[in-house]
Amino acid sequence: MFARYLLIAGLAAGLAGCATAPGRDQLAAKAPALTPTQQYPINVTHGPDDILLAVHDNGLSANQTAALKDLVARWRDAGSDSMLIKAPAAGGDSVYRMVTAIQSRLEALGVDPIAIQLIGYDPGQAGPAPVVIGFERYTAVIPQCGRTWGSITHTIDNDVDPNFGCAVSANLAAMVANPQDLTRPAAMTDADAGRREVVLGKYREGQTSSTPKDPQANGAISTVIP
């Protein structure tokens, strides 16, 4: 009888221990560790890159022409899709002539007329209001690395080290040409229909469809004994 009580007490203690100690099922239910690059996602911010031009009856001044040139250079480097012109509403003929001069200058600087958008805005003031020209600029935020370091030898939880992956994300954020590509797929250009027909024609005739090898790419290992 005494042995029976000891057996029951031992089973109860074992069950209590199983209830408090983490078992295999509890460890398996834990969320998987993030990959190193997922620890430091690249955040992309955006905001307007605008210039304000005062309205002149005789068109653009020399300073305004230079400012438009710099703006177009930034627009081209940013890879933006459109250039926005905001003209004050009810500005009269002077505003119309100013906007026309701005459009002509943008087109002369290489901006596609389709990319130029024109809207009106309420200046909210009685005096003369400027014409606003600009675009939406996207910027990749570079993460700051090396601020925290965990113990590499502590691997019982199988988590990724706190600083792993930061350098990869920082380098990518610093090198990406158009940060907007990190927020959506880049637009694809049209296929080369002429080249496609040439390749398909050679394929149908059983010819080699690849580009011929450039003779300048040929090379040989020197057999000269030094």
Q: Which portions of the chain are predicted below pLDDT 50?
A: 2-3, 5-9, 11-30, 33
pLDDT of residue 182: 85
Residue 87 lies inside a defined structural domain of this protein: yes
Give alpha helix (H) positions in the chain: 2-20, 24-28, 36-39, 62-78, 93-108, 166-175, 193-204
d(CA 115, CA 126): 31
The alpha carbon of 167 is separated from its chain's Cα centroid by a whole number of angstroms, namely 17
Segments forming the whole domain that contains residue 59: 47-137
Predicted TM-score of the model (pTM): 0.58
What are 11-56's pLDDT values in tens digits?
Answer: 444 444 444 444 444 444 445 546 766 778 888 988 899 999 999 8
Listed as own residue / partner, the contacts of 106-113 with beta carbons closer than 8 Å and 24 or more positions apart are 106/68, 106/72, 106/133, 109/68, 109/69, 109/72, 110/72, 110/76, 111/72, 111/75, 111/83
Number of domains in the chain: 1
Residue 219 lies inside a defined structural domain of this protein: no
Q: Which of 139, 147, 148 is nearest to 174 (CA)?
A: 139
Residue 131 lies inside a defined structural domain of this protein: yes
CATH number at residue 111: 3.30.1330.60
d(CA 154, CA 127): 68
Residue 187 lies inside a defined structural domain of this protein: no
Residue 77 lies inside a defined structural domain of this protein: yes
Residue 66 lies inside a defined structural domain of this protein: yes
Residue 124 lies inside a defined structural domain of this protein: yes
